Amino acid sequence: MGLKTALENFSLCKILSEKDGTNKLLEELKKLANSFLCGGYISVKDGNGKEVYRIFLHTIEYYLHPEEGCVIPNENKIQDDIMYHRNGKGIEGDYPYLPIMSLHAHDSGYDIAFENEKEKYRASALIREYVVVDMKNKCFLVWDKRTKEEEGQKFIPYKEDRENNSSPVNNQSTYLKKLLTGFSLEEQGYHPVWVDIKCKGKVADKGNRRKGIREDHYPTSYNHEWQFSKESKVYSIEDYLK
């Protein structure tokens, strides 16, 4: 099953109406994580249709927020006021619902949305960690944290450092704007697309709490273990070029 189909089949209201809905939701989010993290990648092409980058997701965080009219049992306490794309935040009044598979840019990086206008809820997966493949030079790219900001920080080719247990995984989610940018306003042009592949790898068994959520600011969001990561210990560029 491809990512789009998996997202279309997801129903928050149906899941939470079942017995032990909270645990059932965690199970269903992990299933979706398998598609996000192991079942595909974002392909970025230039204006000539040539693939320049592949972005593989390594860690995602789910955010779910019911709008007025959403029917879910109150005991589930699903309310992510921290979400950027919801009614009354960013603009006065109601925000239009994003189509499934929308790439949503905001102050914390990029989400892949799977909102449901019929059931009246917002849903998205924040890209927290990712692997970048430079398709021209056949190498991984990593954000160069050593360079001072005023000197022009950038993505550079990854060089393995086994002594320091290095990896090509990037955790600067906002810096995806350096790669996911320049979209054409015409039908043809520079644009990213999702590519489904045969499942590679495995999602870690247990979810974790999401990063940067303070209990005193967002008490209904703090305890949710909705961060999922791909289990990876060995990185071979050949595996990402197939």
pLDDT of residue 70: 84
Residue 17 sits in which domain range?
3-241
Cβ atoms of 66 and 238 closer than 8 Å: no
pLDDT of residue 218: 79
C-alpha distances out from residue 204 to 31, 64, 75, 166, 229, Å? 11, 21, 27, 20, 6
Q: Give the pLDDT band (50/70/90) at residue 242.
A: confident
Q: What is the largest CA-CA distance in the chain?
A: 56
DSSP 185: S
Q: pLDDT tens digit string along 64-75?
A: 999 988 877 655
For residue 48, give the CATH number of its domain: 3.10.300
**Tokens read off for 203:** 């999602």
Across 95-109, 112-126, 148-162, least confident range: 148-162
Residue range 74-97: mean pLDDT, rounded:
84
**Tokens read off for 112:** 């892949």
Across 117-126, 146-155, 179-188, least confident range: 146-155
Model pTM above 0.75: yes
**Residue 81, phi-psi category: left (phi > 0), alpha (psi -120 to 50), beta (remainder):** alpha
HEC readout, 42-67: EEEECCCCCEEEEEEEEEEEEEEEEC
Which position has the higher pLDDT, 104 or 91?
Answer: 104
Number of domains in the chain: 1
Q: Which three-class secondary structure state does DSSP give residue 193?
A: strand
Cβ atoms of 3 and 196 closer than 8 Å: yes
pLDDT of residue 234: 65
pLDDT at 195 over 90: yes
